Chain A
Amino acid sequence: MNFLEMLMQYGNTLPGAAAQGLIWGIMAIGVYITFKILDLADLTVDGSMVTGMAVCAMLMAAGWNVWPAMGIATLAGMACGLITGLFHTLMGIPAILAGILTQLILWSVNLKIMGKANQALPARSFKVLISQLEKYHALVVLALFCIALVVVLYWFFGTKFGSAMRATGCNEKMARAQGINTDFHKMIGLTLSNGVVALSGALMAQYSGKADINDGRGAIVIGLAAVIIGEALISKLPKNFIVRLSGVIVGGIVYYLVYQTVVFLGLDTDLLKMLSALVVAVFLAVPYLKKRYFTKAKRKEEGNHA
């Protein structure tokens, strides 16, 4: 195979990668709500994403129309988030542990939903909204979903209710002093976030034509990667909320394009999860390392100049 052929072949994988990236971008928006806005690390998503996939796939396999199937899948995801929220606020379990507990609960629940480890949802037999068989169509539909989601969340976080949620994540003590029920807002935030994640799961099941119990493994890391990449991408832009959310979605696309490229170049796919995790670890460490080492260096420099 000559170089040109290879390049064309690579080019052919890009629309599919971009479509999957958009789905991960939607998922990352869910992660953004908890990780960035509420300042909670919520590990529920590894489970709730599969819940979204499983519910959507099973309902459609049972003959449901795609829209109500996706709606119920989203609601199921919200219920997952609510469980984590109750663990965290009502029972005082640290958020990260609450998420892990729910994630484990969902492993069993998801198996029970599907009755087995996976459920096929072939696009040829079902009226799915998007499918990898029609990549360009999927791209357009997913882009519309992303736009709608960004608009809805922009509105939501601009309301009095949404502002109270942002304040909860930013400064809890202040929020309570201003009469905000911080526990309630955390619970709603977790619910909302996992609803978005399950929606992305429902889309992923349709796109890939299956739901598998293992599909959610490491989803939180991919979500964080997209959030982090998104932040890096918009660092030079004015930071209003629409730009931030769009950055997260583009972050999801970039993540998946890089993923696809690495796979195309022949990297052992067994190593991919490790690499994703390491990349996220490095990026999460950057702010800390900057603070710890670079401020000192700067001061020293200033001192030398004086």
Chain B
Amino acid sequence: MLELKNITKIFNPDTINEKVALNDVSLTLNDGDFVTVIGGNGAGKSTLLNAIAGTYPVDEGQIIIDDQDITRLPEHKRAKFIGRVFQDPMTGTAADMWIEENMSLALNRGKPRGFSWAIQESDRKAFKKMLMRLDLGLEERLSTKVGLLSGGQRQAITLLMASMNSPKLFLLDEHTAALDPKTAAKVLSITRELVEEHQLTTLMITHNMQDAIDNGNRLIMMNAGKIILDISGEEKKKLTVETLLQAFKETSGAAFASDRALLS
């Protein structure tokens, strides 16, 4: 499915601010894998997702989706294979456009955008049905500007949009981090439903160790641009926050450096 071969990404090379964000990272995801990603601040989690999505080119290595090498493909062309949700709820939707307009933009992801009318009546029906499952009352507000919605509502819509047309890869970059605990739990449960329904191969970054343990079939931990822990199957089910922290200490030789992860 997804194959990362020896990916390296260095920011500000040859300067005093040089930062090796990804250091020779290799990772293979199988079809239907739901992988949670944890790690301290600056461990390279977001860089990993952005490198896969094509936000910036990588310095070395190969990114392969379903036997197709996408390393050199620009971001907007990779979008055909990839659904994304960002940490900031403002990022995933266009604030000045209506709910239905945003959803139709996602519906046409990876398709040629010609001069036919953007939204058909049949689309509208489909959008309503999708919004209904969110149980947020949004199905009656198709022509509301997304900018008027709350962060949780926007994130829920972004999730729907990202999962449309069942992308090959579902990338979630701390998408519950900016929400209050109750909304975060709701958004996380919507995430689980969508992943289940569309059988999405998923990479989900989270700062919440418990969430990382409770969700998905595989967990990876990153530190200093490397994957230092990769646990799946039965072994993952037995994990606790304490054993994770212990494992981190053993492999990296330091304490887990994220206040948020410890507090939450």
Contacts and interface: CB of A to CB of B under 8 A. Distances in A.
A264 interface: no
Nearest to B113: A160
B92 A170 contact: no
Interface range for B: 20 to 34
Contacts of B84: 177
A159 B108 CA distance: 12
A161 interface: yes
B92 A161 contact: no
Interface in A167-205: 167, 170-171, 173-182
Contacts of B94: 166-167, 170-171, 174-175
Contact of A177 (B53, B74, B104): B53
A170 to B, nearest CB: 4
Interface in B20-67: 53
Nearest to A170: B94
Interface stretch (B114-122, B209-217, B220-228, B241-249): B114-122
A167 B105 contact: yes
Given A159-B117, A167-B105, A177 B97 contact: no
B118 A180 contact: no
B109 interface: yes
Q: Most chain-A Cβ atoms within 10 A of its Cβ — which of B76, B104, B116? A: B76
30 contacts: A158-B117, A159-B114, A159-B115, A159-B116, A160-B115, A160-B118, A163-B104, A164-B105, A166-B97, A166-B101, A167-B94, A170-B95, A171-B93, A173-B86, A173-B91, A174-B93, A174-B94, A175-B76, A175-B105, A176-B75, A177-B53, A177-B79, A177-B86, A178-B79, A179-B79, A179-B108, A179-B110, A180-B76, A180-B79, A181-B74
B116 A176 contact: no
Contacts of A175: 76, 94, 105
Given A171-B93, A171-B94, A181 B117 contact: no
B228 to A, nearest CB: 29
B109 A179 contact: yes
B192 interface: no
Q: Most chain-A Cβ atoms within 10 A of its Cβ — which of B53, B80, B117? A: B117
A162 B118 contact: yes
A161 B113 contact: yes
Contacts of A178: 79, 105-106, 108-109, 161
Q: Most chain-B Cβ atoms within 10 A of its Cβ — which of A167, A174, A181, A182? A: A174
B77 to A, nearest CB: 7
Interface of A: 156, 158-164, 166-167, 170-171, 173-182
Contacts of B97: 163, 166-167, 170
A167 B96 CA distance: 9
A179 B118 contact: no
A211 B80 CA distance: 49
Interface in B178-230: none
Nearest to B171: A177
B116 A160 contact: yes
B95 to A, nearest CB: 7
Contacts of A161: 113-115
Given A174-B92, A177-B53, A178-B161, 17 more contacts: A156-B115, A158-B118, A159-B116, A159-B118, A160-B104, A160-B118, A162-B118, A163-B105, A164-B108, A166-B94, A166-B96, A166-B97, A174-B93, A175-B76, A176-B79, A177-B92, A181-B74
B75 A164 contact: no
B113 A164 contact: yes
Nearest to A164: B113
B74 to A, nearest CB: 8
A182 to B, nearest CB: 7
Nearest to B91: A173
Contact of A181 (B76, B105, B116): B76
Contacts of B106: 178
Contacts of A166: 94, 96-97, 101
A159 B95 CA distance: 19
Contacts of A162: 118
A243 to B, nearest CB: 15
Interface in B116-165: 116-118, 161
B160 to A, nearest CB: 13
A173 B96 CA distance: 14
Contacts of A180: 76, 79, 105, 113
